Amino acid sequence: MNRDDIFSKIQEVLDDALGVDEDEVTSEASLTADLGAESIDFLDIVFRIEKTFDVKISQGELFPENLADNAEWVADGKLTNTGLEMLKGRMAHVDFAAFESGDRSISKLGDAITVDSLVNFVEIKLAG
């Protein structure tokens, strides 16, 4: 399955999970900021990607979870350098550049997850 095929299936996943039109699902669209995803939608998307691509996704593997519980990763509601490095290592499918140079509030972290992040994730997963 090539990247275009994966993108096309991700469009269908997001169409079903978020009720958005496929033309809204561009590569750079943020799941939360542009497509209106909320936390429960992340679980829905994980389930649908598992089913669509026949892969198993562990909790916290696709989307960051429970970061605020760790004081080394989050301080005053913002991601620390240690937290950011941890995420970069654990979530190679996400481009954190804009988040790193902007507001590092944990509440903004979801904005970094784009459609491209999901395509990257599936590509890595299928290759692995």
Residues lying near another protein in the complex (CB under 8 A): 16-17, 40-41, 43-44, 47, 50-51, 59
Nearer residue to another protein within complex by CB, 48 or 78: 48
Tell me how far, at minimum, the Cβ of 100 lies from another protein, in Å. 27
d(CA 90, CA 8): 25
Nearer residue to another protein within complex by CB, 64 or 104: 64
- Residue whose structure tokens are 């992340």: 42
Tell me how far, at minimum, the Cβ of 92 lies from another protein, in Å. 22
- SS3 for 30? strand
Query: 23, exposed or middle or buried, with CB in 10 Å at 0-12, 13-18, 19+?
Result: exposed
